[in-house]
Each structure stands twice: as C-alpha cells, then as structure tokens.
Amino acid sequence: MHDPTKPDLEESVNVTEAHERVLRGAAAASRENRLTENGAEPVSMWVMALCFIPVMFAGWTAFGYGTPLFSYKDTVREGYVQVIPPDDDGAKAEPMTAVLAYSKKGAKIYSKCSGCHGPDGKGDGNAYPSLAGSAFAQGENERFAMIVLNGLTGPTSYGKTFGVMPAQGAGMSPEDLACVMTYVRNNFGNKVGDVVSKAQAAEAIKISAGRAKAGAAVTGDELNADHKKTLSGAAVKADDMVDPITLEAVAK
Amino acid sequence: MSTPSQTPVNDALRRAEIDLSLRHPVMFFFTSGAAWLAVAILLGIIASAKTHSPDFLSSCSFLTYGRVQSAHISALVYGWGCQAAFGALIWLMARLSRQECRAAGIILVAGHVWNFAISLGLISILAGEGTGMPWMEFPVFAWVPMLLAYAAIAIWSMVQFKLRPAGHVFISQWYILAALIWFPWVFASSHLMIHAFAGNPVMAAAINAWYRSGMLLLFFVPTGIAAAYYLVPKVTGRPVYSYSLSSLGFWSLAIIAPWAGMQKLAGAPIPNFLPYLGAAATILFAIPAIAVSVNLLKTASGAPETVANSPSLHFTLAGVIGLLVLGGAAVFLNNPAVLPGTQFSMANYGFDLLGLYGFFSFIAFGVIYFVVPRITRREWLSSRLIKMHFYFSIYGVALVVLVAVFGGAMQGIGLEAYKQPFEDAMTRANPYAVATTLAWCFLLFSNVFFFFHLTLMWLRLGRRSSHPTLLGAHHADDLHDATHGPEGDIDNGGPGTVIQNPHPHAH
C-alpha cells in the first residue's frame, strides 16, 4: 500500500486497477444493496388486535392459575392432582358372576403357587402334587384353607408323601385367600362350582391362628380330624352378580 | 452518515476486507456446524425409530434410547445450532460495525475448543455419563470450557460494536448484542446453580427447564431475528417496514423471554406461581414473534421478484414464517387448558424443534447461502441443489413439527384420560412417532444436498463469476449448465457490476 502521508508521490499503483482486482475476487460483496431501515409505518390495528390474543391467554394463565402471584408458600394448586372419585363411572366395571370375578382375581394370586404346582395346576407328580382332581382342593373348604395358610407335611389326599409345602398365609388377606381358593376349586378341570366368600376366608384365617400347633404345617391326620367341615360365615352363591373390582354384590 | 470516503467502490472494498478477515472462523463454524447437523439428524432418526420399534439396534448399550435422544438434542443444539449462530453473529457484527476481525486466529482456536468439548461431552453421553437434564446433558466437565470458548469467540464482536463508526445502531445490532450478552447469562447462571451450588433438586429441575427455554428464546431467537433483520432489507434493497414494530419486537422479547420456561414444572412442588408465570410469558412470546415476522414479511412483500430469486431470502422468510408459527404454538401449548396434557408428551420436543429447526436453522441456512459466496469469493454451484435442500427441508420440518405438536396433543389427551390404562396414551402416540422418524429421514435427505454443496464451496470449487446463483424460473434457461453460470460470465466481476448497483451507498 502507498504511504498515506504522501499520497501524491505514489504513482506505482493505479487505484482503479487495484480496486478492480479486488472487486473481481469479491463479486458478491460488491453487488450488495445498501441497508436502510427508515420505514416509519405505524403499527397497524390488526397487528395490535393479533397481539391482544396472547395477552388474553397470558392473563388467563397468570391470574387465573398462577395466583397468588409471588407467594413462595403456595406450592400445590388446589385440584391439580386428579383422583377417581368413589362414585365415578370410571370405578364401575361390568358386573359378572361371583365365581368368575373371584377366579379372575385368584388367577393373579395363583402366580405364587404356579412355581410348584405349575400354571396348569398339575404339579409334577413327583415333588409337587397336582391340584387338578385333588380331594383336598375340591373337598371341604376349611380343610383346603388350612393347607394354603399353613402348608402341608406328610401324606396328601393321594396317600403319597410329596415334599413339605411351606405356609402361604403370611400377608394374605381374606380376599386373596377367597379368590385363590375359588380359582383352584373351579379351574384346571376342577368343577366344585362354589365360591369361597371373603367372610368365609376371614373365618378360616381366624381358625388357623387358633390351631393348637399354630404356625406348624398341618398333616393329613389333623386336617381330617379337626378341619373336615365347611367354613361358617356369609356365603356367596356362584352365580350372584358382583362388581369385579370390589367383589361386592350388585343388584341384578 | 455518508462520509466522503464512502464511495461505492471504497464501500465494496471495505466489505471485501471484512469478509476476508473473517473467512476462516466463519467458514469453520458453518462447516463443522453442518457436520454436527448430520450427526444430529442420524442420531435423531435412531432415537425416533426406537420410540416405536424398541428392538431397533437394541443390542448396543450405547445406542439405547435415553442416550441417543440426549446425544441427538445435544448435537443439534451445541454442535449445529450454536456454531451456526456463532458464525452468523461474528460475521454480522463485523459487517454492521464496519470493523475487520483482528482476532480470527483466537476465534478459530476457541471454535476448536468448543468442538472438542462437545465431542467429549457427546461421547460421554453415549457412554452413559449424561446428566439426564434436557439440553444440559453433557457431564459436568464440559460447561466451563464451553463458556470460556464462547467468551473468546464473542468478546471481539462486542469490541467491534464499541469501535463502530458513530451514528445509528441498526436493528440487527440490538439483537446481536442481546444474544451475545444473554447467552453467557443463561448458560453460566444455570450451570452454576445446578452444578456448582447445592440446591433443592426440584428447583434444579425448574432451573433446567428455564435454561432450555432461555437458550431458545434468549439466544437462538435473537440470533435468528438479527440475521433476518439483516438479510431481508439487504437482499431486497428495501427499508425495514416499520421502526415501531422493530422496537416493539425487541423490547417485548427482552422483557418477556426471561420469565419463560418453568411451565414444564406445573404441578411440581415448587411455588405455584412460577410455572404459570412461565406459561404466561411463553404465551406472550407470541407478541415479539408477531411483531418481528409481520415487520419482515411486509418488508419482503415489496420485492416479490427478489424473494422468488434469492436462495437466502427463501430460507430466511421460511424461517420468519417459522417464527410466526412458533408464536402460535407457544399460545396453543402453554395455556392452562392444554398445558397439563402437553407437559409430558412429545409436544415439547415438537416445540423445541420448531424453534431450533423451523425457525432458527432456516435462517441459519439463509445466512450461509448469503455469507459463504462472500467469504469464499465463489458463487454457489447449482440452484438445483439449493432448491432440493429448500423444499425437502420444508416438507421435513413441517411434517416433524406438525406431527410432534399435534401428536403430542393427542398423546396428552390420552395421558389426561387418567381413568384409562397408560398404554392407551402410548398407543395414541405411536403413529406420530413413526411419522417423526419419516420426517427425520426427509430432513436427512434434504441436508445431503446441503452438505455436498457446502463441502464443494469449502474446497473452493464454487463458480468464479460475478453472477449470483438464483432460483427464479426465468433463470432456469440460463442455468441449464449450472456449473458455469449464465452466459459464460466466468470471472467477469469488476467495476461494471458496481456501477449497475442501484443503491450506491452500501452499508
């Protein structure tokens, strides 16, 4: 570049030519428009009207839901968490026969049993006896309940001694017991056709706790001597219509 | 403000010098940003495919959904978005302040540091070390180098602004300066609050939500708007439609955007007004969106032929329309009637994508199509490649946003039907998830043209011509041999082109 203090003495560079060279390389930069921003159009009414829509929505959001504003104490808004109200449609399912409703719930509880007795209830004939066709399972319901609650040792109703069945009663509610017993008595080819009601199951739990050898596994002899009877407590008929969730009777 | 020295030729020379001084850092940001965009799209396809086909690539632990989705959004935000923004910001500020860049080397080094930090961060995410906080998934080590690199990139633009010739400050400069200041504020305060100070973890989630919104509304939005305010009047040669709308747009954004973000935490045990104030602010974001887009669309509407011809304007105006849609989506998704449903659905992802891609990326493409010929001194090779990129991008982004926002709303309705099994909500969302995968494939296809074209430009294989590559129909005959430009005008740039310039006083 030339010395700026002596512009007139510099003759070796033709300024126009030098510029041409640069501009040739920078064609895009040399054909640009000037930036102008002098537009002075007023903000039109319809833009204001359009902007009014978000203002309305924002006001509704902040003042309708965000109140009290800037209160650091209010952390939970009333009614934000939704719960199914007790008398709501959502809680009501189609009523079905008691034996079906109990069995449906029982099938889920039976998953505890299926590890040994198998998903088809047939056991393996060696260490685990079959529930299908079992006299204990299909016989008097108190006897069956004692086995479920306390486990079984010694000979079974087949006369054969399998392994020792551990007690299953811990943590079992009357409803659980009622359902799983109803399921076993009416599935795997068993067709007892009755329902073990929740009241009966509660009675069974009471009897189990009051046994002389409470906590120990029952034996076939004890069962036949003390428990070969039908449980007292309000019975439910197999074809009564019940709510599948609550298992309470519903009017037909 | 015309001084005697501001003759057209001197003006063009000044511009050329500024472009020359910035060519390495700007080209670096654009090309490495594009490479990250490719990574982000590939990861996006995998992540989206996994939402409807969970067994896809399930044998690789580093490609599980949680990692791929995090890696996808991180690559998109920090690899592509931030780098495209940096390139645009430093170039625009130098041009508008009429200052050459005197620190190109430092910016270039800082750019490499940024890339190194996010590469390590991304590998860590795929290795299972991600933090699990949306948009902040990089492990703790990454944020300090990223912030330092940012400072080394941005400080020079602030210096240039300080040294600008006395006089008027152009609208774009407001936004550039705002973005330059807001980014470190949002980035540093959020990372400090979460990584450096021990606080309530629920509040950390709220800060994270604010950060995600802040990055979009306080960095990508002002950057995109700055570029649009530059490109639209620059290419059309028309004054910005309304100065009042410009002020309204800028100040409403500055006042509203910092409040937005915490609506993601509605129903969480944080002070109740925070999420609803956040929702209200996000809704109010529609006001700057309307002001800016009306202003720019009105400006462009005076020069329909230029709009039809210019690749930059095609992308920029598509992005401006994206901004308008973003404002509408903000109102739709954040009002209390819809908010509970969209809070946990894919609608949020749709909103992010609308902002990042439908608005910001389109404007970034507009900037790239405008800037790259100036800094490489070559013209784009083919209008057909640009058209392919444009139309497939439009289809892809329209599909992905429509699907994610609408499908998200559908999913939200399913989630809100709390008496029904959860599975129902997922079943409702499933077809939209499939469509999202398809849309990402569209975007990949469109960007293949862009990557290819940009690579050729980067290799300095562009056309040597004084004629720009235009899209208009009446140029189609001239462009049948696209690689050589119309009428054999190879290397014929010169003073003649300056004299033809209808606006002798270039900025």
Task: Give the Cα separation of B359 and B84 in Å (integer).
Answer: 13
Do residue A23 and residue B9 have CB atoms under 8 angstroms apart? yes
| Closest CA of chain B from A81, distance in Å | 8
Kindly indicate the confidence band of residue A4, based on its pLDDT and cuts at 50, 70 and 90.
low
Do residue B335 and residue A65 have CB atoms under 8 angstroms apart? no
Q: Which of B235, B240, B272 should we substitute to test contact with A (largest number of A Cβ atoms within 10 Å)?
A: B272
pLDDT one-digit tens code per residue, B7-46:
777 788 888 889 999 999 999 999 999 999 999 999 999 9
Q: Looking at residues B402-430, what average pLDDT do you find?
A: 82
Do residue A37 and residue B240 have CB atoms under 8 angstroms apart? yes
Mean of per-residue pLDDT scores for chain B: 88
The alpha-helical segments, DSSP class H, found in B198-242 are 201-215, 221-236
Q: Which two tokens stand for residue B44?
A: 């996006």
Mean of per-residue pLDDT scores for chain A: 82
Q: Which residue of B has its CA nearest to A24?
A: B493
Q: Which of B23, B26, B174, B273 should we substitute to test contact with A (largest number of A Cβ atoms within 10 Å)?
A: B273
Do residue A23 and residue B170 have CB atoms under 8 angstroms apart? no
Whole-model pTM?
A: 0.74
Domain B20-463 is found in CATH 3.90.1150.10: no
Lowest-confidence range among A240-249, B224-233, B483-492?
A: B483-492
The DSSP secondary structure of A22-65, one letter per residue, reads HHHHTHHHHTPPPP----BPPPPHHHHHHHHHHHHHHHHHHHHH
**Using CB atoms and an 8 Å cut-off, which of residues 7-26 of chain A contact chain B?**
16, 19-20, 22-26
Single-letter amino acid, residue A187: N
The DSSP secondary structure of B85-107, one letter per residue, reads HHHHHHHHHHHHTT---S-HHHH
CA pseudo-torsion sign A95, A96, A101, A104 = negative
Please check whether residue B409 is in contact with residue B342, taking contact to mean a CB–CB distance below 8 angstroms: yes
What DSSP character marks residue B484? Answer: G
| Closest CA of chain A from B11, distance in Å | 8
Domains of chain A: 96-242 (1.10.760.10)
**Using CB atoms and an 8 Å cut-off, which of residues 477-506 of chain B contact chain A?**
491-495, 497-498, 500-506
Collect all residues of chain B within an 8 Å Cβ-Cβ radius of residue A28: 373-374, 377, 379, 468
Do residue A23 and residue B497 have CB atoms under 8 angstroms apart? yes
Q: Which of A1, A15, A22, A35 should we substitute to test contact with B (largest number of B Cβ atoms within 10 Å)?
A: A35
pLDDT one-digit tens code per residue, B324-355:
999 999 999 999 888 888 888 888 888 999 99
- Identify which of A19, A25, A74 has the shortest CB distance to residue B272: A74
pLDDT one-digit tens code per residue, B424-449:
888 888 888 899 899 999 899 999 99
Nearest to B318, CA basis, from B251, B394, B255, B260: B394
pLDDT one-digit tens code per residue, A96-148:
888 888 988 888 889 888 888 888 888 887 888 888 888 888 888 888 999 99
Does residue A68 have a cis peptide bond before it, meaning omega lies within 30 degrees of 0? yes
